[in-house]
Each structure stands twice: as structure tokens, then as C-alpha cells.
Homo-oligomer: A and B are copies of this chain.
Amino acid sequence: MAAEIVNPRSDSKTHDTADAAGLSSPDEPFDPAFALHRGGKMAVQATVPIRDKDDLSLAYTPGVAKVCSAIAENPELVHDYTWKSQVVAVVTDGTAVLGLGDIGPEASLPVMEGKAILFKQFGGVDAVPIALATTDADEIVDTVVRLAPSFGGVNLEDISAPRCFEIERKLQERLDIPVFHDDQHGTAVVTLAALRNAAKLSGRTLGDLRAVISGAGAAGVAIAKFLLEAGIGDVAVADRKGIVSGDRTDLTDVKRELAEITNRAGITGSLETALAGADVFIGVSGGTVPEPAVASMAPGAFVFAMANPNPEVHPDVAHKYAAVVATGRSDYPNQINNVLAFPGIFAGALQVRASRITEGMKIAAANALADVVGDELAADYVIPSPFDERVAPAVTAAVAAAARAEGVARR
């Protein structure tokens, strides 16, 4: 997939002196991350020539008028004759950026640009960073609805819970293009893929497993729902106050719904209580799980400690007790990285002009991702590397096929 990188602004990357950077801290400019980010990480390019007036009269006036008129008569043609069907808006309000929290739209832009170039690099999907100057859920929804004619899909990013759930739901109701909150569903898809392979490795099925999720934010909620959708035996979710269960009186709407559909075992109390005898730990919370709690899990357990940069259970500790260990870090095996999912999911959805991304399309993505590992499956290889070039084509094809099968494809 990875196309050759062209850097039209390579000159600008050399101005990494303290003076040019305008930074007060003298050590920052010499950090390679700052040098790399100078001038941004992306650009727009024309894909048609504009060498002379003949070119101009085709790509712009008067030639373009015929194309506009054709679309005005038959709106579906916008997918054929513009970049709409290959460009995704990466939309944030800057409220839940990485582990940094609510840092605002401007400060979130480097992440959104990063996301945009990952879309391009791994999925061949064009993407545009849109960091909004509002955190009001209805304003965000209205704004994205107004932007929608220009885009083939919307990737919501780093919007804090619980607003992210409402925003995604309302946008899905109002738009006929895919709307996908990657912090929820991308994470859930990759987690399911890894979990499916871990189960396979130990001769079990998802139905045999009881999982405990630490974190009831965007990722925790989505993973819980998605694992249930995929047929997991049981899953309980813990927030900072303990297991989300029906006896609690402090639950938000989202968590109350979670209490109804999760935790069939009816566990109450702390995360540690829930971990006793559990088959799977999934950490999307930060914080640290005490070693005795890890030790109390069932034999042959799986520990997916995905907080970055500090996993909830250090891999060295996890390996003492668990059969399979995964993290969010690139310097350990089994990295649960969203980039394994979102480029292919959008590429597949856009390829068939899907009106939405269904549960079936996400399940198909997870299965395709798990299948890439194939016969090489091992405890330190339950999920492919982000740089495995088989990943995006496999996910793209599976998602496109699932969209067709589920009747949400428009071609």
C-alpha cells in the first residue's frame, strides 16, 4: 500500500533552530519531533495537469461547468467526478487528545494531521484535519452536517466521552455517509482481532471468555459492546469507582445502558474483584493494576494493557501470569494500534460508497485483521504489525464485501 513519499517542503524542515522555532524552552527545538513537524506534515496536490490554457479550460472554466451541470441534474455523479468519495474529514474538538486531555482545537491539529497522513499512507484515503472551535455537541453535529457535502466520510477523533457517543449517534442519523469515532470503534476492532487470535491459540472461542475492561470512556464502552456483538462469554467494565453494575446510582445514561448489557456475572465492587478468575484484562484507562489482581486471573489469561505510554500492567509483570500479552506500544510485541483498522475500514466503505459502517463491517474488519496472522500465530504474534502491507488490502476487501452483503453499499 505504502506509496512513495514526496516532500515538496523538504527545505522547510531545516529551519529547526531555536530562533526560527520561536520556542522559549531551549531544548525543544532539538527534539526530532519538532524538526519533523515544522511546516506541518501534509499538503494538497493536483492530480490533473494545469500546464496551459487548454488544461485550464478543462479543469476550470469553461469545461468544469459541464461537470457541475451534470451533478446538479444527477447528484450521485458527485462521487464520480469529484474527490468526495475518497476524502474523509478528521473531525475533533480537541477535548480528549491522546493522554493530554482537553487541549483545544489548535493544539490537537498535529494529531489530526498525523491521522490524515496515516489514512493516506495505509489506506490510500485522502483526509483533511478539521479541528473545531466549539465543544457544544449540537454545534459540532450541525457543523459536520453542513460540511458533509464535501466529504465521503467523517472520522471523529479525540472527542471526550460522553459527548462523543451523542455526537456520533446524531451524525449517523442525519448523514448518509459513514461516521466513525475511531477512538471507539477502531480500538474495538483491533482488540477483537487480537482477542480472537489469542483465543484460537489457546483452543478456546470468544464464548468461553470472561473479560474485564478497565475504563468506561469512549474505548471501553465501544470495546464492551463490540465484544458482546462478537459473542464473548461475558464482559464487565470498570470505571474509577469500580465495576459498572445495576446497583450503582451514579451512572450516566451511557453507563446505565452498559450496566444492562454487560456483567452477566453480576459482579459488584472493584476492578480487582472482577479480575479474580477472569480470562481477559483489557486496559484503556491508564492507571496501574496491582500485581496480585493480575495473579488472581484464570490460568492462561490474556492481558491487553493498552494505555500509552504506561500500560496498566507492565509487560514484564503480565508475562508472569498471562498466556498472551498485548500493549499499545510499538516497542513490545502485539501492538493494539488503531492504524491497523481505520484506513482499511474507510477505504472499504468508500470503495462501495457505503452509507454507514455497520457492526457487520466492523466484525468483518476484525476477522480479516486476525486472519492476516494466519499460520504464524503465536503468543507474541496475535496481531499483525502496522507495517504489514497485507493488512489494509485485507481489511478493505472484507469491509467492502460486508457492506455489500448488508445492503449499505451504493455500488
With a cutoff of 8 Å between Cβ atoms, the chain B residues found around residue A53 in the complex are 330-331, 386-387
* Choice from B58, B98, B114, B129 contacting A59 with Cβ under 8 Å: B114
Chain A contact residues (Cβ within 8 angstroms of B): what range?
35 or more
With a cutoff of 8 Å between Cβ atoms, the chain B residues found around residue A133 in the complex are 145-149
Q: Is the pair B107, A47 in contact by a Cβ cutoff of 8 Å?
A: no
What are the interface flags for A255-290 relative to B under an 8 Å C-beta threshold, 1 for contact and 0 otherwise? 000000000000000000000000000000000000
CB contacts under 8 Å to B, within A310-326, are none
- Tell me the bound Cα distance from A308 to B142 in angstroms: 36
- Tell me the bound Cα distance from A225 to B5 in angstroms: 46
- Tell me the bound Cα distance from A70 to B49 in angstroms: 39
Contact A32 to B63, CB < 8 A, known contacts A22-B76, A45-B120, A127-B44: yes
With a cutoff of 8 Å between Cβ atoms, the chain B residues found around residue A68 in the complex are 97-98, 100, 103, 107-108, 110-111
CB contacts under 8 Å to B, within A109-158, are 109-118, 120-121, 126-134, 139, 142-143, 145-150
Stoichiometry (number of copies):
2
Interface: A252 (CB within 8 A): no
With a cutoff of 8 Å between Cβ atoms, the chain B residues found around residue A309 in the complex are 62
Q: Is the pair B107, A72 in contact by a Cβ cutoff of 8 Å?
A: yes
Q: Is the pair B44, A42 in contact by a Cβ cutoff of 8 Å?
A: yes
Contact A150 to B130, CB < 8 A, known contacts A32-B63, A62-B309: yes
Contact A50 to B117, CB < 8 A, known contacts A44-B44, A147-B132: yes
- Tell me the bound Cα distance from A68 to B109 in angstroms: 8
Q: Is the pair A150, B121 in contact by a Cβ cutoff of 8 Å?
A: no
Interface: A57 (CB within 8 A): yes
* Choice from B57, B115, B130 contacting A147 with Cβ under 8 Å: B130
With a cutoff of 8 Å between Cβ atoms, the chain B residues found around residue A21 in the complex are 77, 80
Interface: A393 (CB within 8 A): no
Minimal beta-carbon separation of A34 from chain B (angstroms): 6
* Choice from B10, B44, B112, B145 contacting A128 with Cβ under 8 Å: B44
- Tell me the bound Cα distance from A105 to B133 in angstroms: 23
Q: Which residue of B lies closest to A329 (CB)?
A: B62
Q: Is the pair B330, A57 in contact by a Cβ cutoff of 8 Å?
A: yes
Q: Is the pair B130, A139 in contact by a Cβ cutoff of 8 Å?
A: no
CB contacts under 8 Å to B, within A76-92, are 76-78, 80-84, 86-87
* Choice from B6, B28, B64 contacting A6 with Cβ under 8 Å: B6
What are the interface flags for A147-182 relative to B under an 8 Å C-beta threshold, 1 for contact and 0 otherwise? 111100000000000000000000000000000000
Q: List 11 A-B contacts (CB under 8 A).
A: A2-B51, A5-B46, A22-B77, A41-B59, A42-B83, A45-B120, A50-B117, A53-B386, A56-B386, A112-B150, A130-B150
Interface positions of A (Cβ within 8 A of B): 2-3, 5-10, 13, 20-24, 28, 31-34, 36-53, 56-72, 74-78, 80-84, 86-87, 97-100, 103-118, 120-121, 126-134, 139, 142-143, 145-150, 308-309, 330-331, 339, 386-387
